[in-house]
Structure 1
Amino acid sequence: MQPQEQLNYSGNLFSEHLITKTSDRSDQLSQWVEHVTKQLIEDLPETDHDLTPTYDDGGATVAALLGELSPIRKAARKSSDDSPGSTLPTKVPADEVAMSLLTLLFECAVAISLDNLGEAHRMLLELSQTASPYGASSAERVVAYFAKAMSSRVVNSWIGVCAPIHVDFKAVHAAFHVYNNVSPFVKFAHFTSNQAILEACSRHSRLHIVDLDIMQGLQWPALFHILATRAEGAPYVRMTGLGSSMELLLETGKQLSSFARRLGMQFEFHAVEKKFGDVADVSALGIRRGDTLAVHWLQHSLYDATGPDWKTMRLLQGLRPRVVTLVEQEIAHGGSFLDRFVASLHYYSTMFDSLGAFLAGEDAGRHRVEQWVLHREINNVLAVGGPARSGEDKFRNWRSELAGSGFVQMGMSGNAMAQAQLILNMFPAARGYRLVQGDHGTLSLGWKDTSLYTASAWTSPNHHLHHMHAPS
């Protein structure tokens, strides 16, 4: 299946041996994060997994927990003392300043994990004065957004309430559209999933696609174009789109219907203003006898799109789909606060690195993605705070859960790999992206040595029974 966007074929196809390490330290935030995290974790005294304080007086400071500060942080503080009125040292090289900020951020995370909110608040004030979302370096920008999220976490802990964060879906979806244009990750998710659906549903005359979080439906015009030109003729396509705003769902349905009509394809859109896990039973999805069922789920941390995972799994089992296409972020949301902090800092610093290699610091699209997509995800992972604070039951890894629930993995084909390789050539920084085909048929896209998104396809072993029992 060919991507609908015009591709630049001038670059070499992506392959692992073409990846080169840049010497520009400004593009190595993720390496600094890995170094600082490793150094500080090694300095931590032995304690339990959640770093629960074992001190009788309950007044242990972060400095006592961490021991001596790193030489880089000491140098930064000395330079700051020599420059009254300036918290950010000017006499320390930029890469050392970045490591100093990351060190302080890690100390703050440890303080939060120990419920030492006063110490955390002091460090967050310092971070807010030294790091800006508009900073020239990726390090400064990612620290600024993490500090904002951790400030919200501290406030939530102080008042003892973790209120749901309001979602401006129009703004988030608009930013996600920009994200689709400036980064290959969204296109990777769309086109690899489309290819899996196309192959699983070939020669079927009626196709029903259930999109668990359809947003603006950016994925589907490319699939429609291929379906409309099939040698065996275009199938009848029914699409069920789930979301939290009926207004936006109807607008998405209108756009997709118009596109399908221009292609001469029979199409019907069904809007469901609910989270998938909140759907009472499969009958609410309008499944019809004779439909070949495909379910698509692009996971993200912008908001909870599906509700409790166990309910989502129960419905998937009840649907018995011909194919489930799943694209997961390679970041765990479970575990302690410090677990999530370390995992998310490494993950999102890599994301900021990849954007910084492609877009200038003052680029409006880059800032919009960082502010409305990446920052929002960081905030949801750290401030809202995962299963222990939200009460939701979330799986750590959906692929293992699907396998354990009877679903059978369908390997991503060579055509899907070719699609991803072509997509990467749209971006000047393509040599930094890493495409890996897993042993079990997964396909992962990352930046340098960090996997960020993994696509997989699954089928229900009883998918053929659906046609026998679905209502007309």
Structure 2
Amino acid sequence: MVIEMFPSVQFDSRGIPNQFGHSKDYCSREEVNTERNQWYGTEEFVQWGNINLFHQNTMINENLSLPTKQQGLIFSAEITNFDELCYDIKPSSSQLCPEELKNFETIHSEFQELISPQESSSGITINHETKFGQADYEQFNLPSHDTACANAGKRLSTHDFLRLGGEKFIQSSSPIVNNFELSHPYSTSLLGLSVEEHRDVEIIQHLLASAEKVGEQQFSRASHLLSHCHQCSSIRGTPVQRIVYYFSKALQQKIDQETGRRTTKGSGKRQLLELQDTSMNPNPSLLASYQKVPFSQVILFTAMQVMIENVSEAKRIHIIDLEVRNGLHLSILMEALAARSDCPLVHLKVTAVGTISEQKIKETGKRLMSVAQSLNLSFSFNVVMVADMLDLNESLFKLESEEMVAVYAPYILSTLIERPNHLENLMAVFQKINPRIMIVTEVEANHNSPVFVNRFVEALFYYGALFDSMEECMDRDDQDRIISESTQFSPKIANIVAFEGEERRVRHVNSNVWKAFFSRFGMVETELSRASLYQAKLLVNNFACASSCTFEMMGKSLSIGWKGTPILSVSALKFL
């Protein structure tokens, strides 16, 4: 029966389920009975500013604790290629007859797992709480998922609306047995909603129905459903109306491509290259979003704190930067190195690697040179341009025996997933260089499913959290918010939803997948220090939305999320 697909949950005073689960591939798993492995899966856009993580005056709170999840990694001697490192665990089927099951084996199963309380593969509810040792730092609390939900106030989050819309979508699709429709355990969820809230739930329902029809290649019916989404969504409306606007636009683009009304060849790649090039430009709107929404700042400063700690004894430092952009992170690093008294820096060398925008990279180098001069820091900046990562080799970096090498890879590795030979060559080069530390920051999401509806639902919940954070951190009519959403979120949503094959370049995967991949090159995670965790907490407390931000330790990596939905992560790795 359909009702057996859903667990019973308790409801709060507004009829919303009290327990909120993460997307299915984020929770911990024991990878024992996996049938197959498959690659599964905003970025930090910043501008120059007077931001200094290393001179914070925020008071320390008590009782440091971070949620943790045991990670089920894949280690197998039989793994021979890049794709085999990634996995896709299919949800178990309910006891439906074949005709009924056909309607529930796609998007319905996705929502069942998203609605269910988060459990481990053994069926035991995961305990999120753990403690760090006191050491040199007084303990203090980092917000957990539960505390974020409790502090979020009475306003329904975008995550709530997505779940309610999913519940209504499933209910509307429930089979009729013995001439009556099965009752649905979430039917009371819509009680007490305002007219506008009901509209938001309804357009989510239509969006999901349209996505399912696209997955079934029923493009005419999908377009008909999308017409309602187009009419009721807006780039200036509620977070739900905004996210529906961009996702329905992406669905329409997919329909146009699938039906031949739009040419696709090269458009996905070109779209992402334009986005990458845009990120090199000074942009006041992106800076405003960066300053008001905490994720990128927290991950950037945590990464630089880890970098500083791992090169603390070096007098000559060589940073290989795979995504230099406008260089804000390097200016922060330079300021911290210049202030070092116990081991004065003799020289800092930065090598920026790029495949496009050489002139803009050089302009970043000039700005960094000015920063170095103002700090009285010996500094050199080199640019290594390659047609693609297959052309990269260690001889291009002009390594010197007396320098300590560190690698910074922000949001770049996932862009190479579609071209595994490029990614493997990049890692092989670094394996030969054997840097002291490699800092990797990535989107902590799962946007690489080969199954369209799975990928659609994962992306919808992920970007739902981002749009919800924008709602809490910026005004609805804030032009900087509108520009940021349209120029940064929209192209990525379109690439995830509308494109397939080599045209689909946005292929984020989660930390478990990366750990398994890195292990092939003899790389292991190193512990993030209490100082870096302390800095993350100090920084997030500077934002008005701090109570909605959540942290998780995933093995030795740190993830920052929004009300329990993971957003970005940072890892520190070394070669054995």
Q: TM-score range by the shorter chain?
A: 0.7 to 0.9
Task: Label 1:114 to 1:154 Cα distance change in 2 as closer, same or farther (>3 A).
Answer: same
Counterpart pick for 2:293 among 183, 188, 203: 183
In structure 1, the partner of 2:344 is: 233
Q: How far apart are residue 388 of structure 1 and its match?
A: 6.4
Contact persistence 1:214–1:241 (CA under 8 A): yes
Tell me if 1:32 matches 2:142: no
- Secondary structure at 2:325's aligned position in 1? coil
Q: How far apart are residue 7 of structure 1 and its match?
A: 5.7
Tell me if 1:245 matches 2:357: yes
Query: Aligned partners of 2:432 and 2:315: how far apart in 1?
Result: 22
Where in structure 1 do 4 or more consecutive aligned residues deviate above 4 Å?
A: 4-8, 10-14, 38-46, 70-73, 300-307, 387-396
Q: How many residues align?
A: 420
Q: How far apart are residue 229 of structure 1 and its match?
A: 1.5
Query: Aligned partners of 1:322 and 1:71: how far apart in 2?
Result: 54
Task: Label 1:445 to 1:235 Cα distance change in 2 as closer, same or farther (>3 A).
Answer: farther
Measured against aligned partners, the alpha-carbon deviations of 1:420-455 in whole angstroms (never above 9, x if no partner) come to 1111122111111112233x2211111111111111
Task: Label 1:105 to 1:224 Cα distance change in 2 as closer, same or farther (>3 A).
Answer: same
Measured against aligned partners, the alpha-carbon deviations of 1:197-228 in whole angstroms (never above 9, x if no partner) come to 11111111121111211111111111111111
In structure 1, the partner of 2:440 is: 326
In structure 2, the partner of 1:120 is: 222
Query: Aligned partners of 1:427 and 1:34: how far apart in 2?
Result: 27
Give 5+ residue unaligned stretches, structure 2: 1-50, 62-139, 176-180
Query: Aligned partners of 1:404 and 1:250: how far apart in 2?
Result: 34
Tell me if 1:16 matches 2:128: no
Task: Label 1:188 to 1:279 Cα distance change in 2 as closer, same or farther (>3 A).
Answer: farther
Amino acid at match of 1:143: V
Task: Label 1:260 to 1:305 Cα distance change in 2 as closer, same or farther (>3 A).
Answer: farther
Range that drifts further, 16-25 or 426-435: 16-25
After TM superposition, list the pairs within 5 Å mapping 1:51-450 onto structure 2.
Answer: 93-135=195-237, 137-159=238-260, 161-162=264-265, 163=267, 164-166=269-271, 167=274, 169=276, 171-173=278-280, 174=283, 176-230=286-340, 231-243=342-354, 244-274=356-386, 277-299=389-411, 308=420, 309-335=423-449, 336-385=451-500, 387=501, 389-390=503-504, 397-438=513-554, 440-450=555-565
Measured against aligned partners, the alpha-carbon deviations of 1:82-110 in whole angstroms (never above 9, x if no partner) come to xxxxxxxxx97111111111111111111
Q: How far apart are residue 148 of structure 1 and its match?
A: 1.5
Give 5+ residue unaligned stretches, structure 1: 47-66, 77-90, 462-472
- Secondary structure at 2:441's aligned position in 1? strand
Contact persistence 1:209–1:294 (CA under 8 A): yes
- CA root-mean-square deviation: 3.4
Query: Aligned partners of 1:228 and 1:276: how far apart in 2?
Result: 34
Amino acid at match of 1:356: E
Amino acid at match of 1:265: L
Q: How far apart are residue 365 of structure 1 and its match?
A: 1.9
Range that drifts further, 392-401 or 119-128: 392-401
Query: Aligned partners of 2:388 and 2:287: how far apart in 1?
Result: 22
Query: Aligned partners of 1:222 and 1:392: how far apart in 2?
Result: 28
- Secondary structure at 1:165's aligned position in 2? helix
Report % sequence identity.
Answer: 23
Amino acid at match of 1:355: M
After TM superposition, list the pairs within 5 Å mapping 1:447-458 onto structure 2.
Answer: 447-458=562-573
Task: Label 1:289 to 1:312 Cα distance change in 2 as closer, same or farther (>3 A).
Answer: same
Contact persistence 1:325–1:455 (CA under 8 A): yes
Q: How far apart are residue 233 of structure 1 and its match?
A: 0.2
Q: How far apart are residue 249 of structure 1 and its match?
A: 0.3
Bigger fraction of residues in helix: 1
Q: How far apart are residue 146 of structure 1 and its match?
A: 0.9
Q: How far apart are residue 138 of structure 1 and its match?
A: 0.6
Query: Aligned partners of 1:301 and 1:37: how far apart in 2?
Result: 32
Measured against aligned partners, the alpha-carbon deviations of 1:343-368 in whole angstroms (never above 9, x if no partner) come to 11000100111111111101122212
Task: Label 1:279 to 1:419 Cα distance change in 2 as closer, same or farther (>3 A).
Answer: farther
Amino acid at match of 2:314: H
Contact persistence 1:303–1:380 (CA under 8 A): no
Q: How far apart are residue 285 of structure 1 and its match?
A: 3.0
Amino acid at match of 2:329: Q
Measured against aligned partners, the alpha-carbon deviations of 1:313-359 in whole angstroms (never above 9, x if no partner) come to 33332332211111121212321111111111000100111111111
Contact persistence 2:143–2:549 (CA under 8 A): no
Amino acid at match of 2:163: E
Amino acid at match of 1:318: K
Task: Label 1:413 to 1:34 Cα distance change in 2 as closer, same or farther (>3 A).
Answer: farther
Q: How far apart are residue 45 of structure 1 and its match?
A: 8.6
Question: With structure 1 as the length reference, what TM-score do the two structures score?
Answer: 0.80
In structure 1, the partner of 2:99 is: none
Measured against aligned partners, the alpha-carbon deviations of 1:366-420 in whole angstroms (never above 9, x if no partner) come to 21221111222212222234x5654999866323311343102111110111111
Range that drifts further, 141-150 or 400-409: 400-409
Amino acid at match of 1:453: L
